[in-house]
Structure 1
Protein backbone atom coordinates (compact mmCIF):
# COMPACT_ATOMS: atom_id res chain seq x y z
CA UNK A 1 0.00 0.00 0.00
CA UNK A 2 1.41 3.36 -1.08
CA UNK A 3 1.70 6.32 1.20
CA UNK A 4 -1.18 8.80 1.07
CA UNK A 5 -0.41 12.36 -0.01
CA UNK A 6 -3.88 13.51 -1.01
CA UNK A 7 -7.26 12.94 0.65
CA UNK A 8 -10.49 13.48 -1.28
CA UNK A 9 -13.88 13.61 0.46
CA UNK A 10 -17.34 13.05 -0.91
CA UNK A 11 -19.83 15.34 0.87
CA UNK A 12 -23.43 14.07 0.92
CA UNK A 13 -23.94 11.39 3.60
CA UNK A 14 -20.25 11.70 4.53
CA UNK A 15 -20.09 15.26 5.86
CA UNK A 16 -23.69 16.46 5.44
CA UNK A 17 -26.96 14.60 5.99
CA UNK A 18 -29.29 14.25 3.00
CA UNK A 19 -32.82 12.88 3.10
CA UNK A 20 -35.67 13.94 0.75
CA UNK A 21 -38.16 12.32 3.12
CA UNK A 22 -37.66 15.14 5.62
CA UNK A 23 -39.87 17.68 3.79
CA UNK A 24 -41.91 15.14 1.86
CA UNK A 25 -43.09 13.28 4.95
CA UNK A 26 -45.02 16.48 5.59
CA UNK A 27 -45.92 17.24 1.96
CA UNK A 28 -47.06 13.66 1.20
CA UNK A 29 -47.94 12.18 4.62
CA UNK A 30 -49.04 8.78 3.30
CA UNK A 31 -45.93 6.62 3.19
CA UNK A 32 -47.04 4.43 0.29
CA UNK A 33 -48.00 7.47 -1.77
CA UNK A 34 -44.68 9.14 -0.96
CA UNK A 35 -42.70 6.05 -1.97
CA UNK A 36 -44.65 5.90 -5.25
CA UNK A 37 -43.84 9.57 -5.90
CA UNK A 38 -40.09 9.01 -5.46
CA UNK A 39 -40.15 5.79 -7.48
CA UNK A 40 -42.19 7.19 -10.38
CA UNK A 41 -42.01 11.00 -10.46
CA UNK A 42 -39.04 12.66 -8.73
CA UNK A 43 -36.84 9.60 -9.10
CA UNK A 44 -33.16 9.15 -8.33
CA UNK A 45 -32.41 9.05 -12.06
CA UNK A 46 -34.30 12.33 -12.58
CA UNK A 47 -32.48 14.03 -9.72
CA UNK A 48 -29.03 12.84 -10.80
CA UNK A 49 -29.41 14.80 -14.04
CA UNK A 50 -29.38 18.01 -11.99
CA UNK A 51 -26.13 16.73 -10.49
CA UNK A 52 -24.91 16.33 -14.08
CA UNK A 53 -25.73 19.96 -14.81
CA UNK A 54 -29.34 20.11 -16.01
CA UNK A 55 -31.15 23.20 -14.73
CA UNK A 56 -34.01 22.83 -12.27
CA UNK A 57 -36.21 24.78 -14.67
CA UNK A 58 -35.66 22.20 -17.41
CA UNK A 59 -35.99 19.32 -14.96
CA UNK A 60 -39.29 20.60 -13.62
CA UNK A 61 -40.68 21.39 -17.07
CA UNK A 62 -39.90 17.88 -18.30
CA UNK A 63 -41.71 16.20 -15.41
CA UNK A 64 -44.65 18.59 -15.32
CA UNK A 65 -45.28 17.91 -19.02
CA UNK A 66 -45.46 14.19 -18.23
CA UNK A 67 -47.27 14.45 -14.88
CA UNK A 68 -49.23 17.73 -14.80
CA UNK A 69 -51.34 16.70 -11.81
CA UNK A 70 -48.16 16.44 -9.71
CA UNK A 71 -46.85 19.91 -10.58
CA UNK A 72 -46.92 21.25 -7.03
CA UNK A 73 -44.85 18.43 -5.54
CA UNK A 74 -42.48 18.38 -8.50
CA UNK A 75 -41.73 22.04 -7.77
CA UNK A 76 -41.59 21.25 -4.05
CA UNK A 77 -38.50 19.12 -4.58
CA UNK A 78 -36.35 22.17 -5.31
CA UNK A 79 -38.46 24.54 -3.24
CA UNK A 80 -37.87 22.52 -0.06
CA UNK A 81 -34.38 21.26 -0.88
CA UNK A 82 -32.89 23.12 2.08
CA UNK A 83 -34.90 20.90 4.43
CA UNK A 84 -33.31 17.79 2.89
CA UNK A 85 -29.87 18.82 4.17
CA UNK A 86 -30.64 19.76 7.78
CA UNK A 87 -27.24 19.33 9.43
CA UNK A 88 -23.64 18.25 9.12
CA UNK A 89 -22.20 15.15 10.79
CA UNK A 90 -20.13 16.74 13.53
CA UNK A 91 -17.90 13.70 14.05
CA UNK A 92 -17.07 13.41 10.35
CA UNK A 93 -16.48 17.14 10.05
CA UNK A 94 -14.10 16.93 13.02
CA UNK A 95 -12.02 14.34 11.15
CA UNK A 96 -12.19 16.43 7.96
CA UNK A 97 -11.13 19.67 9.64
CA UNK A 98 -8.50 17.91 11.73
CA UNK A 99 -6.83 16.62 8.57
CA UNK A 100 -6.77 20.12 7.09
CA UNK A 101 -5.41 21.65 10.29
CA UNK A 102 -2.65 19.06 10.51
CA UNK A 103 -1.44 19.98 7.03
CA UNK A 104 -2.89 17.23 4.84
CA UNK A 105 -3.88 18.03 1.27
CA UNK A 106 -7.68 17.79 1.34
CA UNK A 107 -10.05 18.35 -1.58
CA UNK A 108 -13.66 17.35 -2.28
CA UNK A 109 -15.36 15.55 -5.17
CA UNK A 110 -19.15 15.59 -5.14
CA UNK A 111 -22.21 14.79 -7.20
CA UNK A 112 -24.20 17.97 -6.54
CA UNK A 113 -26.30 20.44 -8.54
CA UNK A 114 -24.73 23.82 -9.26
CA UNK A 115 -27.11 26.12 -7.43
CA UNK A 116 -27.77 23.95 -4.40
CA UNK A 117 -24.05 23.54 -3.83
CA UNK A 118 -23.70 27.32 -3.70
CA UNK A 119 -26.38 27.29 -0.99
CA UNK A 120 -24.63 24.47 0.86
CA UNK A 121 -21.35 26.41 0.96
CA UNK A 122 -23.14 29.40 2.41
CA UNK A 123 -24.77 27.28 5.12
CA UNK A 124 -21.87 24.98 5.94
CA UNK A 125 -18.73 27.08 6.14
CA UNK A 126 -16.39 24.10 6.56
CA UNK A 127 -16.98 23.36 2.86
CA UNK A 128 -14.85 26.42 2.11
CA UNK A 129 -11.81 25.13 4.01
CA UNK A 130 -10.25 22.52 1.68
CA UNK A 131 -7.95 23.38 -1.20
CA UNK A 132 -10.79 22.98 -3.66
CA UNK A 133 -13.74 21.00 -4.94
CA UNK A 134 -15.00 19.43 -8.14
CA UNK A 135 -18.78 19.73 -8.36
CA UNK A 136 -20.45 17.43 -10.89
CA UNK A 137 -23.03 20.04 -11.84
CA UNK A 138 -20.26 22.47 -12.78
CA UNK A 139 -18.31 20.06 -14.98
CA UNK A 140 -21.10 18.00 -16.55
CA UNK A 141 -19.72 14.68 -15.28
CA UNK A 142 -20.81 12.47 -12.39
CA UNK A 143 -19.34 9.75 -10.25
CA UNK A 144 -18.72 6.92 -10.90
CA UNK A 145 -17.71 7.97 -14.44
CA UNK A 146 -13.96 7.61 -14.87
CA UNK A 147 -13.72 11.06 -16.43
CA UNK A 148 -14.65 12.96 -13.27
CA UNK A 149 -11.93 11.26 -11.22
CA UNK A 150 -9.37 12.00 -13.93
CA UNK A 151 -10.55 15.61 -14.13
CA UNK A 152 -10.30 16.08 -10.37
CA UNK A 153 -6.81 14.61 -10.29
CA UNK A 154 -5.58 16.80 -13.14
CA UNK A 155 -7.30 19.93 -11.79
CA UNK A 156 -5.61 19.65 -8.40
CA UNK A 157 -2.35 17.98 -9.38
CA UNK A 158 -3.08 14.71 -7.59
CA UNK A 159 -1.11 11.53 -8.16
CA UNK A 160 -3.90 8.91 -8.18
CA UNK A 161 -1.59 6.24 -6.70
CA UNK A 162 -1.17 8.25 -3.50
CA UNK A 163 -4.71 9.67 -3.35
CA UNK A 164 -7.29 8.33 -0.88
CA UNK A 165 -10.97 8.80 -1.75
CA UNK A 166 -13.76 8.61 0.85
CA UNK A 167 -17.35 8.02 -0.28
CA UNK A 168 -20.52 6.39 1.09
CA UNK A 169 -21.37 4.79 -2.28
CA UNK A 170 -19.79 1.44 -3.20
CA UNK A 171 -20.12 2.31 -6.89
CA UNK A 172 -18.27 5.60 -6.40
CA UNK A 173 -15.55 3.90 -4.35
CA UNK A 174 -15.10 1.33 -7.12
CA UNK A 175 -15.01 4.13 -9.68
CA UNK A 176 -12.09 5.71 -7.84
CA UNK A 177 -10.26 2.38 -7.63
CA UNK A 178 -10.80 1.85 -11.36
CA UNK A 179 -9.26 5.29 -11.92
CA UNK A 180 -6.13 4.18 -10.06
CA UNK A 181 -6.93 5.81 -6.71
CA UNK A 182 -7.01 4.25 -3.29
CA UNK A 183 -10.48 4.42 -1.76
CA UNK A 184 -12.51 3.48 1.30
CA UNK A 185 -16.24 3.11 1.85
CA UNK A 186 -17.55 5.56 4.43
CA UNK A 187 -19.80 3.96 7.05
CA UNK A 188 -19.13 6.31 9.98
CA UNK A 189 -16.55 8.61 11.50
CA UNK A 190 -14.94 6.02 13.77
CA UNK A 191 -14.48 3.55 10.93
CA UNK A 192 -13.00 6.36 8.85
CA UNK A 193 -10.52 7.16 11.62
CA UNK A 194 -9.48 3.51 11.60
CA UNK A 195 -9.12 3.49 7.82
CA UNK A 196 -6.93 6.57 7.99
CA UNK A 197 -4.84 5.29 10.88
CA UNK A 198 -4.25 2.03 9.02
CA UNK A 199 -2.70 4.13 6.24
CA UNK A 200 -0.45 6.03 8.59
CA UNK A 201 -2.65 9.11 8.85
CA UNK A 202 -3.42 10.23 12.39
CA UNK A 203 -7.08 11.25 12.62
Structure 2
Protein backbone atom coordinates (compact mmCIF):
# COMPACT_ATOMS: atom_id res chain seq x y z
CA UNK A 1 0.00 0.00 0.00
CA UNK A 2 1.33 3.44 -0.88
CA UNK A 3 2.47 5.77 1.87
CA UNK A 4 -0.46 8.13 1.30
CA UNK A 5 -3.04 5.41 0.87
CA UNK A 6 -5.95 5.66 3.30
CA UNK A 7 -7.49 2.30 2.55
CA UNK A 8 -7.28 -0.55 0.03
CA UNK A 9 -9.44 -2.45 -2.41
CA UNK A 10 -10.84 -4.60 0.39
CA UNK A 11 -12.93 -1.50 1.19
CA UNK A 12 -15.30 -0.31 -1.52
CA UNK A 13 -17.61 1.93 0.52
CA UNK A 14 -17.31 3.96 3.71
CA UNK A 15 -20.47 5.19 5.45
CA UNK A 16 -20.27 8.09 7.89
CA UNK A 17 -22.50 9.36 10.66
CA UNK A 18 -22.74 13.17 10.65
CA UNK A 19 -22.71 14.85 14.07
CA UNK A 20 -19.55 14.05 15.97
CA UNK A 21 -17.99 12.42 12.91
CA UNK A 22 -18.23 14.86 9.99
CA UNK A 23 -19.78 17.90 11.70
CA UNK A 24 -18.98 19.30 15.13
CA UNK A 25 -22.42 19.63 16.74
CA UNK A 26 -22.62 21.98 19.73
CA UNK A 27 -26.09 22.48 21.22
CA UNK A 28 -25.08 25.59 23.15
CA UNK A 29 -23.77 27.39 20.07
CA UNK A 30 -27.36 27.96 18.86
CA UNK A 31 -28.39 29.50 22.20
CA UNK A 32 -25.34 31.32 23.56
CA UNK A 33 -25.86 35.05 23.94
CA UNK A 34 -29.61 34.74 23.34
CA UNK A 35 -30.73 33.06 26.57
CA UNK A 36 -29.36 33.13 30.14
CA UNK A 37 -26.11 31.27 30.56
CA UNK A 38 -27.44 28.90 33.23
CA UNK A 39 -30.51 28.02 31.16
CA UNK A 40 -28.32 27.18 28.17
CA UNK A 41 -26.03 25.07 30.38
CA UNK A 42 -29.02 23.15 31.75
CA UNK A 43 -30.53 22.55 28.31
CA UNK A 44 -27.23 21.26 26.93
CA UNK A 45 -26.34 19.09 29.95
CA UNK A 46 -26.58 15.31 29.77
CA UNK A 47 -29.30 15.41 32.46
CA UNK A 48 -31.21 18.27 30.76
CA UNK A 49 -34.37 18.85 32.84
CA UNK A 50 -36.16 20.35 29.84
CA UNK A 51 -35.84 17.28 27.64
CA UNK A 52 -34.45 18.91 24.50
CA UNK A 53 -32.50 15.79 23.57
CA UNK A 54 -35.65 13.71 23.96
CA UNK A 55 -37.65 16.07 21.77
CA UNK A 56 -34.90 16.11 19.17
CA UNK A 57 -34.86 12.32 19.25
CA UNK A 58 -38.58 12.29 18.45
CA UNK A 59 -37.88 14.51 15.45
CA UNK A 60 -34.97 12.28 14.41
CA UNK A 61 -37.44 9.42 14.36
CA UNK A 62 -39.75 11.25 11.97
CA UNK A 63 -42.00 13.40 14.16
CA UNK A 64 -42.83 16.81 12.67
CA UNK A 65 -41.47 19.94 14.33
CA UNK A 66 -44.95 21.43 14.75
CA UNK A 67 -46.18 18.36 16.61
CA UNK A 68 -43.11 18.16 18.84
CA UNK A 69 -43.31 21.88 19.61
CA UNK A 70 -46.85 21.42 20.91
CA UNK A 71 -45.63 18.53 23.06
CA UNK A 72 -42.88 20.73 24.48
CA UNK A 73 -45.46 23.42 25.19
CA UNK A 74 -47.74 20.95 26.97
CA UNK A 75 -44.97 19.40 29.04
CA UNK A 76 -42.62 22.33 29.66
CA UNK A 77 -44.73 25.47 29.26
CA UNK A 78 -44.75 28.37 26.82
CA UNK A 79 -41.38 29.86 27.77
CA UNK A 80 -39.39 26.69 27.17
CA UNK A 81 -41.42 25.96 24.05
CA UNK A 82 -40.31 29.28 22.60
CA UNK A 83 -36.69 28.47 23.44
CA UNK A 84 -37.11 25.14 21.63
CA UNK A 85 -38.66 26.91 18.65
CA UNK A 86 -35.72 29.31 18.48
CA UNK A 87 -33.25 26.42 18.81
CA UNK A 88 -34.74 24.45 15.95
CA UNK A 89 -35.18 27.51 13.72
CA UNK A 90 -31.50 28.46 14.29
CA UNK A 91 -30.16 24.91 14.22
CA UNK A 92 -27.44 25.83 11.77
CA UNK A 93 -25.76 27.81 14.56
CA UNK A 94 -25.31 24.52 16.45
CA UNK A 95 -23.05 23.31 13.61
CA UNK A 96 -20.06 25.64 14.04
CA UNK A 97 -17.48 23.70 12.03
CA UNK A 98 -16.56 20.45 10.37
CA UNK A 99 -14.73 17.86 12.43
CA UNK A 100 -11.00 18.44 12.00
CA UNK A 101 -9.72 16.51 8.99
CA UNK A 102 -13.11 15.13 7.94
CA UNK A 103 -13.25 16.88 4.58
CA UNK A 104 -9.70 15.78 3.79
CA UNK A 105 -10.52 12.16 4.63
CA UNK A 106 -13.61 12.16 2.41
CA UNK A 107 -11.62 13.73 -0.42
CA UNK A 108 -8.83 11.16 -0.15
CA UNK A 109 -11.26 8.26 -0.15
CA UNK A 110 -13.03 9.61 -3.23
CA UNK A 111 -9.71 10.09 -5.01
CA UNK A 112 -8.86 6.45 -4.26
CA UNK A 113 -12.11 5.29 -5.86
CA UNK A 114 -13.88 4.51 -2.59
CA UNK A 115 -17.53 5.57 -2.43
CA UNK A 116 -18.48 7.63 0.63
CA UNK A 117 -21.99 7.91 2.02
CA UNK A 118 -23.90 9.42 4.93
CA UNK A 119 -26.18 7.68 7.43
CA UNK A 120 -27.51 9.94 10.16
CA UNK A 121 -30.13 10.15 12.86
CA UNK A 122 -31.32 13.67 12.05
CA UNK A 123 -34.65 15.46 11.77
CA UNK A 124 -36.15 16.04 8.33
CA UNK A 125 -36.89 19.60 9.51
CA UNK A 126 -33.27 20.52 10.28
CA UNK A 127 -31.06 18.33 8.11
CA UNK A 128 -30.99 20.94 5.35
CA UNK A 129 -28.74 23.09 7.56
CA UNK A 130 -25.94 20.54 7.20
CA UNK A 131 -25.62 20.85 3.44
CA UNK A 132 -26.42 24.56 3.41
CA UNK A 133 -23.53 25.27 5.76
CA UNK A 134 -21.19 22.64 4.34
CA UNK A 135 -21.99 22.10 0.65
CA UNK A 136 -18.70 20.27 0.25
CA UNK A 137 -20.25 17.37 2.17
CA UNK A 138 -23.11 17.12 -0.30
CA UNK A 139 -20.59 17.24 -3.14
CA UNK A 140 -18.33 14.54 -1.69
CA UNK A 141 -20.97 12.13 -0.38
CA UNK A 142 -22.62 9.98 -3.03
CA UNK A 143 -25.84 9.89 -1.01
CA UNK A 144 -27.21 10.17 2.52
CA UNK A 145 -29.92 8.32 4.43
CA UNK A 146 -31.61 10.58 7.01
CA UNK A 147 -33.61 8.93 9.78
CA UNK A 148 -36.21 11.68 10.05
CA UNK A 149 -37.03 11.40 6.36
CA UNK A 150 -37.16 7.61 6.32
CA UNK A 151 -38.82 7.32 9.76
CA UNK A 152 -36.26 4.66 10.62
CA UNK A 153 -33.33 5.16 12.93
CA UNK A 154 -30.04 3.72 14.10
CA UNK A 155 -29.29 1.35 15.74
CA UNK A 156 -32.21 -0.64 14.30
CA UNK A 157 -31.16 -2.97 11.50
CA UNK A 158 -33.77 -1.69 9.05
CA UNK A 159 -32.05 1.67 8.45
CA UNK A 160 -28.72 0.00 7.68
CA UNK A 161 -30.49 -2.44 5.37
CA UNK A 162 -32.18 0.48 3.61
CA UNK A 163 -28.81 2.17 3.07
CA UNK A 164 -27.33 -1.11 1.89
CA UNK A 165 -30.07 -1.57 -0.69
CA UNK A 166 -30.20 2.06 -1.81
CA UNK A 167 -26.43 2.42 -2.15
CA UNK A 168 -25.85 -1.12 -3.46
CA UNK A 169 -23.39 -1.91 -0.68
CA UNK A 170 -21.61 -5.22 -0.19
CA UNK A 171 -21.40 -5.79 3.58
CA UNK A 172 -17.97 -7.39 3.49
CA UNK A 173 -16.42 -4.33 1.79
CA UNK A 174 -18.40 -1.66 3.65
CA UNK A 175 -17.07 0.28 6.65
CA UNK A 176 -19.17 2.43 8.99
CA UNK A 177 -18.06 5.16 11.41
CA UNK A 178 -20.24 6.51 14.22
CA UNK A 179 -19.39 8.16 17.54
CA UNK A 180 -22.05 6.16 19.42
CA UNK A 181 -21.28 2.54 20.25
CA UNK A 182 -24.85 1.24 19.90
CA UNK A 183 -24.94 2.54 16.33
CA UNK A 184 -21.62 0.84 15.62
CA UNK A 185 -23.10 -2.38 16.98
CA UNK A 186 -26.15 -1.92 14.77
CA UNK A 187 -23.96 -1.75 11.67
CA UNK A 188 -22.06 -4.84 12.75
CA UNK A 189 -25.37 -6.69 13.16
CA UNK A 190 -25.98 -6.44 9.41
CA UNK A 191 -22.46 -7.58 8.56
CA UNK A 192 -20.65 -4.30 8.01
CA UNK A 193 -17.23 -3.47 9.37
CA UNK A 194 -17.85 -0.72 11.91
CA UNK A 195 -15.78 1.41 14.25
CA UNK A 196 -16.52 3.93 16.96
CA UNK A 197 -15.21 7.28 15.76
CA UNK A 198 -12.99 9.38 18.01
CA UNK A 199 -10.99 11.41 15.49
CA UNK A 200 -9.82 11.26 11.89
CA UNK A 201 -6.39 9.90 12.81
CA UNK A 202 -8.00 6.90 14.52
CA UNK A 203 -10.39 6.43 11.59
CA UNK A 204 -7.39 6.20 9.26
CA UNK A 205 -5.85 3.55 11.50
CA UNK A 206 -9.13 1.64 11.58
CA UNK A 207 -9.31 1.65 7.79
CA UNK A 208 -5.71 0.49 7.50
CA UNK A 209 -6.40 -2.32 9.98
CA UNK A 210 -8.62 -3.95 7.34
CA UNK A 211 -5.68 -4.32 4.96
CA UNK A 212 -4.85 -7.80 6.20
How high is the TM-score relative to the length of structure 2? 0.86
Deviation, structure 1 residue 25: 4.0
Look up the match of 1:7.
14
Matched, 1:77 2:87: yes
Matched, 1:17 2:24: yes
1:14-72 deviation line (CA, Å, top 9, x unaligned): 111101122334313126x7326862223322211111111111111111122224232
Matched, 1:30 2:38: yes
Point out the more displaced range, 83-92 or 7-16.
Answer: 83-92
**Distance of 2:141 and 2:193 partners within structure 1:** 19
Structure 1 residues 165 and 36: CA distance shift in structure 2, 3 A: closer
SS in structure 2 opposite 1:199? Answer: helix
Matched, 1:115 2:125: yes
Matched, 1:171 2:179: no
Q: Is there any run of 5+ residues in structure 1 with no aligned partner, and where? A: none
5 Å-filtered alignment, 1:129-140, equals 129-140=140-151
Q: Is there any run of 5+ residues in structure 2 with no aligned partner, and where? A: 1-8
SS in structure 1 opposite 2:194? Answer: strand
Matched, 1:66 2:75: yes
CA RMSD of aligned residues (A): 2.1
SS in structure 2 opposite 1:11? Answer: coil
Report if aligned partners of 2:43, 2:52 keep a CA contact under 8 Å in 1: no
For residue 99 of structure 2, the aligned residue among 89, 92, 97 is 89
1:107-138 deviation line (CA, Å, top 9, x unaligned): 11111111321221122112212221111111
**Distance of 2:177 and 2:23 partners within structure 1:** 13
Matched, 1:180 2:191: yes
SS in structure 2 opposite 1:50? Answer: helix
Query: Which 4+ runs in 1 deviate beyond 6 A?
Result: none
Structure 1 residues 18 and 37: CA distance shift in structure 2, 3 A: closer
Point out the more displaced range, 73-82 or 192-201.
Answer: 192-201
Task: Point out the structure with the larger helix share.
Answer: 1
Matched, 1:144 2:155: yes
1:135-159 deviation line (CA, Å, top 9, x unaligned): 1111001111111011110111111
How high is the TM-score relative to the length of structure 1? 0.89
